[in-house]
Amino acid sequence: MDEGTREGRPAVETAEEPTKTPEELRRDIERTRVELGDTVEALGKKTDVKGQAQERIAEVKGQAREKVDSIKQRASAATPNSARDVGTTAKTKAQSNPLPFAVGGAILFGFLLGRITKGD
Q: What is the pLDDT of residues 67-117, one digit of tens each?
A: 999 988 887 777 666 666 777 887 888 788 888 888 888 999 988 888 888
Give the model's pLDDT for residue 17: 66
- The answer to whether residues 77 and 70 touch, using CB atoms and an 8 Å cutoff, is no
Q: Provide the number of structural domains found in the chain.
A: 1
CA dist 85 and 91 (Å) reads: 10
- Does residue 6 form part of some domain? no
- Does residue 102 form part of some domain? yes
Q: In terms of residue numbers, what domain contains 103?
A: 22-118
- The answer to whether residues 11 and 2 touch, using CB atoms and an 8 Å cutoff, is yes
CA dist 28 and 48 (Å) reads: 30
- Does residue 51 form part of some domain? yes
Tell me which residue of 104, 108, 96 sits closest to 116, measured CA to CA: 108
Give the model's pLDDT for residue 65: 92
- The DSSP 8-state label assigned to residue 116 in this structure reads H
- Does residue 11 form part of some domain? no
- Does residue 50 form part of some domain? yes
For residue range 15-49, what is the model confidence (pLDDT) as tens digits?
566 788 999 999 999 999 999 999 999 888 888 88
Give the model's pLDDT for residue 23: 93
